[in-house]
Structure 1
């Protein structure tokens, strides 16, 4: 009889630390959606997540850092940055993902929170970090298009994304007009016509 090799040790992906982080971030987004950022507290988030407050403080330190991490995690998951190989379909897919995300309670809560100005320096800094992070990630769409020669080198990344996203955000937040099914494609065409200098 030949000696069999021992079976490899199977480790569970993530582990307790990952589960705790996910539970806390999920709880933070739920509290944000229900209560708004002004009433979000670490105590409320910890209670909902089923962990001690000290666990949350040890990992995040401040309420502002927790809110920022939760918003970034939620938007990263809800609004992925597409790479279809063409700028038009990238822009349309990104706009559609944004519209779908803003149609959810979590998405609306994030948008409302991030749209508000804050007298709290910590929160104001968190919002700025959030927007810059999202811009850096989504900016890959424009940067790739420039590299492929689909857009001119002088294209302003931030302006292009603002032109694409602002109508969707305005309709979602104000609710005065619906987001039609073909709006993402129409916005992508309008943005590209403007960036390419078409009449």
Structure 2
């Protein structure tokens, strides 16, 4: 069987994603171009367009890879501790070049359908992971049985996105510990004495 010439070269793929991330972090989403990505990655524009329809699609693939490696959901059996760990990891990730790229993609999602679809897809995956972890906590008696788990996700992550996207105030390292300390009594079963 002869090699498929349209199959992605993993080395070129990684070079393109890395180049897109570097340029977007340096210049911002709007100033990132396919031409600049191709030059830095050492590939032709046609190679990029064969694999991705736009710069947003390249960056979204990179965001997926980084997020999956850095922002998974632990399961130690203690939902509060696991949420503190996961949300703190998300906030740390947002302080890296990933955050600048994600911010650019969220902005682009307001007017570009490829970016909008990708942002929704990535967020849906994150929401589903959190709902799954909350469901396990509910089944273990740590979360109220009547709780709307998707609403809980919005309550948990809303403060992160509000402070990070709008830059409303400096965010201390223990920010999510404080948020979750205020929020968890509303999520836990009535009469739960968890501290």
TM bucket (normalised to shorter chain) is 0.7 to 0.9
CA contact (8 A) 1:91 1:141 kept: no
Choose which of 140, 157, 162 in structure 1 pairs with 2:149: 157
Choose which of 79, 87, 97 in structure 2 pairs with 1:95: 87
Q: Which residue is equivalent to 2:138?
A: 146
Q: Give the alignment of 1:65-144 within 5 angstroms.
A: 65-115=57-107, 117-144=109-136
Q: Which runs of 4+ in 1 moved over 6 A?
A: none
**More displaced 10-residue stretch of structure 1: 124-133 or 172-181:** 172-181
Matched, 1:177 2:144: no
Label 1:63 to 1:104 Cα distance change in 2 as closer, same or farther (>3 A).
Answer: closer
Q: Which residue is equivalent to 1:46?
A: 38
Q: Which residue is equivalent to 2:4?
A: none
CA contact (8 A) 1:160 1:195 kept: yes
* Cα distance between partner residues in 2 of 1:88 and 1:29: 33
Q: Can you give the 5+ residue segments of structure 1 that lack an aligned partner in the other structure?
A: 1-15
Q: Can you give the 5+ residue segments of structure 2 that lack an aligned partner in the other structure?
A: 1-7
Q: Which residue is equivalent to 1:56?
A: 48
What whole-Å deviation, never above 9, does each CA across 1:161-181 have from its counterpart, x for those lacking one? 222222223223333422223
SS class of match (2:30): helix
TM-score normalised according to structure 1 size: 0.77
Label 1:175 to 1:62 Cα distance change in 2 as closer, same or farther (>3 A).
Answer: closer
Report the Cα offset of residue 30 of structure 1.
1.9
Structure whose CA Rg is larger: 1
